[in-house]
Amino acid sequence: MSSREDEALALAAVDALTGQLALAPKPGLPDPRDLGARATRKDHCSLRWSARALAPGLAAMAAAARRTGEPSPGLRAELGAIGRCTEHSVALAGGGHRGALWTLGLLVAAAALDPGARSADVATAAKKIAAHSDRRAPRRPSRGSAVSAKYGAAGARGEARAGFPHVRRALDALARSRTAGAGESEARLDALLTVMSTLQDTELLYTAGPLGLRHVQAGARGVLEAGGTTTEAGREALLALDAGLHTRAWSPRGSAGLLAGALFVDALPVTAGPRAA
């Protein structure tokens, strides 16, 4: 049974994910602008709804970590089992968020292992959990693992085993933008673009290949080099990149999931007090 502390961590993770979904304009990704487009309305609404279906599973992951007390192979196996059950629940609620579940699940478990820890410590604990193999996982290759093997990309598993370097990069970008006076939405968009500029996104590799991935990375760098989303030039570059990705149906979903992880870590430490209505 999960405690109030575990539920607070889970709700903070869901808030981070819905906060990521609320950003606009996100290049090639669903955002609130889709609410005005009949063809994509269901996609964005279902993503917001299904994000909330993650909460029970994430709370169970936090409880498992708190009960286990160490980043052991047993904890890794238990997190995998909970994650597969949670994927099923999310699918019933509308689907999506598989990459975000992997990232947030590990980070929530890491935060539960060390209450009060901040970014570097949480990422290090998550790395220790991810270092173990899930011996109970189905022995069938996923699309992400197949793409990783084909192109030599780290993929979601490699990102976790490296201690989530792109979550750390996003956190650094958030801090820089806030210090420079950017609003919160602009700071978060700059953090997303920072991740996009270097991440070997397996979803993009699958749909667009290496040339497409490099195109997206260069586009994200172009926005940042133009001054980021707070400048007129940066905003124009962002809108051009967004239009191009939507035209090509290229979606940097891996970057979006890692931004959600960064927003969760950024909100730590989480208290278990009553949640605002």
pTM metric for this prediction: 0.90
CATH number for the domain harbouring residue 260: 1.10.4200
Tokens standing for residue 231: 């400048």
Task: Tell me whether residue 275 is in a domain.
Answer: no
Greatest extent of the chain over all pairs of C-alpha atoms, in Å: 51
Q: State residue 87's pLDDT score.
A: 87
Task: Tell me whether residue 271 is in a domain.
Answer: no
Cβ-contact 204, 198 below 8 angstroms: no
Find the domain containing 78 and state its range.
Answer: 4-135+155-266
Residue 113 φ/ψ, nearest 5 degrees: -65, -35
Q: State residue 179's pLDDT score.
A: 96
Cβ-contact 264, 104 below 8 angstroms: yes
Cis peptide before 25 (omega within 30 of 0): yes
Q: Is 144's pLDDT higher than 80?
A: no
Amino acid at the residue 207: T
36-47 residues labelled b (16+ CB within 10 A) or e (exposed): eeeeeeeebeeb
Task: Tell me whether residue 140 is in a domain.
Answer: no
pLDDT band at 2; cut points 50, 70, 90: low
Using a pLDDT cut of 70, give the percent of the chain over it: 92
Mean pLDDT score, 160-166: 95
Q: Is 139's pLDDT higher than 50?
A: yes
Q: State residue 154's pLDDT score.
A: 87
Cβ-contact 160, 104 below 8 angstroms: no
Cβ-contact 93, 251 below 8 angstroms: no
Mean pLDDT score, 117-129: 91
Cβ-contact 193, 223 below 8 angstroms: yes
Q: State residue 43's pLDDT score.
A: 63
Query: How many domains, in total, are found in the chain?
Result: 1
Q: Between these two residues, 19 and 51, which has the higher pLDDT value?
A: 19
Task: Tell me whether residue 273 is in a domain.
Answer: no
Q: DSSP of 95-142, one letter per residue?
A: ---HHHHHHHHHHHHHHHHSTT--HHHHHHHHHHHHTS--TTS-SS--
Mean pLDDT score, 239-251: 93
Residue partners of 56: CB distance under 8 A and separation at least 6 = 10, 86, 89
Q: State residue 108's pLDDT score.
A: 97
Q: Is 195 exposed, middle or buried (0-12, 13-18, 19+ CB in 10 A)?
A: buried
Tokens standing for residue 185: 């939405």
Cα–Cα distances (Å) from 12 to 19, 88, 108, 187, 189, in that order, read 10, 21, 9, 19, 19
